[in-house]
Structure 1
């Protein structure tokens, strides 16, 4: 048996990077900061996210830097050879299967933070 499940809740580090392909596919990349509590302060862990299809469309239209989101997906590793050094490199990426918008509509408009006060805004896409 094998299991590869990642569940994260955090704030988006920048506006979505969206690419549309001639085939009709849509790909979106995001960074997500998730606070890790330590004795002295909260330290963010940064995750690279990759979304495809409808999830990518939703992220492109509704997610902005600072948005509070929840994601569920699986972990994969991109691998490449560094052009300058010739060294093999890898980067972990969370491939998102489920996106949940957790902040309020006011959050996305730069208002105060809090829970969702718009019906359907917290729905899964």
Structure 2
């Protein structure tokens, strides 16, 4: 039996970077800072890759500092460095589930034409903690 499942709670290190493909699919990439138990330690940083409808939710509602909960799997991205020709790789978390955990104020989105905030589907709302950056 094999298991490749990762659950993290942390804060977005930057606004999502979104790319659209000719097929209509989209991907959002961002970093997630996860604090250690001790406040004296630096947070751990993770690269996130989010696809499809969940990527659209990230693009619409996630901004730098947003408190997020994610469930996903670890994968390795591999590429050849254009300058040196060396093989490179980095670990990436492919997100399957995304939860917006901060308060409504933390996750505030632009007002729609009707003057009310859009309501993201399937999101929780709990108090936040200090951002690690």
How high is the TM-score relative to the length of structure 1? 0.83
The Cα offsets for residues 43-83 of structure 1, whole Å up to 9 and x where unpaired, read as 11000000001110000000000000000000000011222
Tell me how far 1:108 sits from its aligned partner: 2.8
The Cα offsets for residues 11-57 of structure 1, whole Å up to 9 and x where unpaired, read as 0000110111111101000100001134x613110000000011100
Q: Which residue of 2 aligns with 1:28?
A: 28
Asked if the contact 2:46/2:93 (under 8 Å) is kept, the reply is yes
Q: Deviation above 4 Å: which 4+ runs of structure 1?
A: 118-121
Q: Which residue of 2 aligns with 1:45?
A: 44
Q: Which residue of 2 aligns with 1:115?
A: none
Tell me how far 1:121 sits from its aligned partner: 4.2
Q: CA separation in 1, counterparts of 2:57 and 2:79?
A: 29
Q: CA separation in 2, counterparts of 1:96 and 1:79?
A: 18
**3-state secondary structure, aligned to 1:105:** coil
How high is the TM-score relative to the length of structure 2? 0.78
The alignment's C-alpha RMSD in Å is 2.0
Between the two proteins, the alignment pairs up a number of residues equal to 114
Q: CA separation in 2, counterparts of 1:121 and 1:55?
A: 12
Whose strand proportion is higher, 1 or 2?
1
Asked if the contact 2:100/2:107 (under 8 Å) is kept, the reply is no
Q: CA separation in 2, counterparts of 1:96 and 1:121?
A: 15
Asked if the contact 1:104/1:121 (under 8 Å) is kept, the reply is no
